[in-house]
Amino acid sequence: MSSTARQPFTGLFPVAPTPFLEDGALDLEGQRRVMDCMIDQGVDGICILANYSEQFLLSDDERETLTRLCLEHVAGRVPVMVTCSHFSTDIAAARAKSAAGQGAAILMMMPPYHGAALRADEKHIFEHFQRVSEAAGIPVMVQDAPLSGVTLSVPFLVRMARELELVRYFKIETPQAAAKLRALVEAGGDVIEGPFDGEEAITMMADLDAGATGTMSSALLPDLLRPVFDHHRAGNRAEAAKAYAHVLPLVNYENRQCGLRAAKTVMQEGGVIGCDRVRHPMEQIHPATREGLLELAREVQPLALSWGK
Q: What does the pLDDT look like over 43-100, one tens digit per residue?
A: 999 999 999 999 999 999 999 999 999 999 999 999 999 999 999 999 999 999 999 9
Mean pLDDT of the chain: 96
**Distance between CA atoms of residues 200 and 108, nearest Å:** 16
Specify the pLDDT at position 1: 37
Q: What does the pLDDT look like over 165-184, one tens digit per residue?
A: 999 999 999 999 999 999 99
Burial class (CB in 10 A: 0-12, 13-18, 19+), 187: middle
In the predicted model, what is the mean pLDDT of residues 175-202?
Answer: 97
Q: Is the pLDDT of residue 188 over 60?
A: yes
**Distance between CA atoms of residues 42 and 68, nearest Å:** 22
For residue 2, what pLDDT band results from cuts at 50, 70 and 90? very low
At residue 300, φ and ψ (nearest 5 deg) are -115, -15
User: Distance of CA 224 to CAs 79, 187, 247, Å?
Assistant: 20, 32, 7
At residue 144, φ and ψ (nearest 5 deg) are -100, 90
pTM: 0.96
Specify the pLDDT at position 7: 73
Specify the pLDDT at position 6: 58
In the predicted model, what is the mean pLDDT of residues 267-276?
Answer: 98
User: Distance of CA 187 to CAs 58, 111, 210, Å?
Assistant: 38, 21, 13
**Distance between CA atoms of residues 29 and 273, nearest Å:** 9
**Distance between CA atoms of residues 212 and 244, nearest Å:** 15
pLDDT-above-70 percentage for the chain: 98
Q: What does the pLDDT look like over 224-262, one tens digit per residue?
A: 999 999 999 999 999 999 999 999 999 999 999 999 999
Q: What does the pLDDT look like over 5-55, one tens digit per residue?
A: 457 999 999 999 999 999 999 999 999 999 999 999 999 999 999 999 999
Residues marked as catalytic: 171
Specify the pLDDT at position 3: 37
Cβ contacts of 22 within 8 Å, gap of 6 or more = 275, 277
HSE, CB side, 13 Å, CA atoms: give it for residue 261. Answer: 21
